[in-house]
Amino acid sequence: MNWSSTAEFFAMGGYGLYVWGSFGITAAALLIEALLAKKRFADTRRLLRRELAADREALNEHASRRP
């Protein structure tokens, strides 16, 4: 084990800003990318579902108007 206390762990031997700036931004970037990809998929799916529902409705109306 390299660290005798939590404070020592976060200080990173004086390089805290650089080490945590690297790991922190990397973690945030990967997380944000995953959330954006999730949103993109959900948005596309919602749009397509709406499109399909509208199509079905139009078809039903068309069918019911026939004698």
Partner 1 sequence: MINWFKFASPASFYPLAGKLWPWFAALATAFCAAGLWISFFVAPTDFQQGEGYRIIFIHVPASWMSMFIYCVMAFWAAIGITFNTRLSGMMSAALAPTGALFAFLSLWTGALWGKPMWGAWWVWDARLTSELILFFLYLGYIALTSAIDDPRRADKAGAIVALVGVVNVPIIYFSVKWWNTLHQGASVSLTKAPSMATTMLWGMLLMALAFWMYSIAMSLYRVRAIILEREHHAGWVAELPEMQR
Q: Name the residues that contact partner 1, by CB under 8 A.
A: 1-3, 9, 12-15, 17-19, 21-23, 25-26, 29-30, 33-34, 37-38, 40-41, 44-45, 48-49, 51-53, 55
Contact 6, 13 (CB under 8 A): no
Cα 53-59-64 angle, rounded to 5 deg: 125
Q: What are phi and psi of 52, to 5 degrees?
A: -65, -40
| 7 versus 67: smaller Cβ distance to partner 1 | 7
Q: What are phi and psi of 33, to 5 degrees?
A: -60, -45
Work out how close the CB of 65 gets to partner 1 at its nearest, in angstroms, rounded to a whole number. Answer: 23
Work out how close the CB of 5 gets to partner 1 at its nearest, in angstroms, rounded to a whole number. Answer: 14
